[in-house]
Amino acid sequence: MKRPVILLLAAMGLASLAAPSVAVLPAWLIWNASASVPLGLYWVERPTGLEIGDLVAVMPPAPLAAFMVTRGYIGADVPLLKHVAGLPGQRVCRSGATIT
């Protein structure tokens, strides 16, 4: 292979690696290894509206995230997948592990 071709391929490879870090993507893939939802790969998109029971990706508050990373529950900057339990104006109650 000629040198210009190698340089062009290298530049294209670097651009494809750098693009996701600067582009605003409408969707992405998340690997879930936690017990909150079944283990697996999830396709995440921006919601157009939420309903009870929908699965959402949320970033935990910094103190909780630090605790979870320290304990090895999740990696740094990893969103959690959770089911919507209530919407604005609704009351959500928890008793032990039961949410109503």
Q: Which domain holds residue 46?
A: 25-99
C-alpha distance from residue 28 to each of 24, 54, 79, 99 (Å): 10, 17, 12, 29
Tell me: the pLDDT tens digits for 8-63? 888 787 777 766 666 565 568 888 877 788 988 999 888 889 999 999 998 889 99
Please count the other Cβ atoms lying within 10 Å of the Cβ belonging to residue 87.
12
The tally of domains found in the chain comes to: 1
56 phi and psi, to 5 degrees?
Answer: -125, 155
Q: Are 55 and 83 in contact (CB under 8 A)?
A: yes
Q: Note the pTM of the prediction, 2 decimals.
A: 0.63
Alpha-carbon distance of 52 to 12, in angstroms, equals 43
Q: Is the pLDDT of residue 90 over 80?
A: yes
Instruction: Tell me if 4 is assigned to some domain.
Output: no
Instruction: Tell me if 11 is assigned to some domain.
Output: no
